[in-house]
Amino acid sequence: MNVVIPAYNAVKTINRVVTKCLKYTPRVLVVDDGSKDGTAYEAQRSGAGVYCHTRNWGVGGATMSGLSITRDADIVVVLDADLQHDPDEIPKLIEPIQKGLADVVIGSRFLLPHKIPTYRKFGIWVITLAYNFGHKPITDAQSGFRAYSRKFLDSIKLEDNGFAHSTEILIKARKQYFRIVEVPISCIYHNLEQDSHSNPIKHGLSVLLKTIYWRIREWN
């Protein structure tokens, strides 16, 4: 099993994320997406392998790089670098794949009660609705905590550099009849005050439109 951690300016948290992940596998890869704060150095010092982008490609681009590098693994887990996800829940994510029950496992924030900012919850709900429409529903199409089987990764070509990569992956997986399951995870949101100063409406609309684009393009 490999763990991929897309990271951008995560020097304050990357050590704790990597250290926890190393409890479950020695193969931890941090994709430093053009950080300016020493994230790559801190990740390497913590025991992770590091692949660096010379500029900021976006979380989708960083995820694609990580998945491409680790395709030889039987299972690849992807999680955020900001401690929103708990690496101690990795065994829960990989279990359905190990048992042959899934090809894609989503760590859902909505199968257990969590304190999620209202604007985030609404945006995730709308994007998930766009993904679900006409199909068997899931609860969290935007979760960044996931596990993928090698069979899935060998069959999927990813293209989206932005946050819509999360729905692109699921749309393409569904089209090819890969098995998608969800498991409940915990989540903690950090720096909510800082985060609220971004433009959540613009961000959410962008991801929604790209989700619709991927559905039309894949006719799914």
pLDDT digits (tens, 9 = 90+) for 11-47: 999 999 999 999 999 999 999 999 999 999 999 999 9
pLDDT of residue 120: 85
Q: Is the dihedral of CA 105, 92, 58, 70 positive or negative?
A: negative
Residues 6 or more apart in contact with residue 217 via CB below 8 angstroms: none
What is the phi-psi region of residue 91: left when phi exceeds 0, alpha when psi lies from -120 to 50, beta otherwise?
alpha
As for how many domains the chain has, the answer is: 1
Give the tens place of pLDDT for each residue, 96-107.
Answer: 999 999 999 999
Q: Give the count of alpha carbons within 13 A of 12, CB side only.
A: 6
pLDDT band at 191 (very low <50, low <70, confident <90, very high): low
Averaged pLDDT of the chain? 93
Cβ-in-10-Å burial (0-12, 13-18, 19+) of 109 comes to buried
Domain range enclosing 13: 2-218
The pTM of this model reads: 0.93
Average pLDDT over residues 183-205: 71
CATH code for position 183: 3.90.550.10
Average pLDDT over residues 133-158: 95
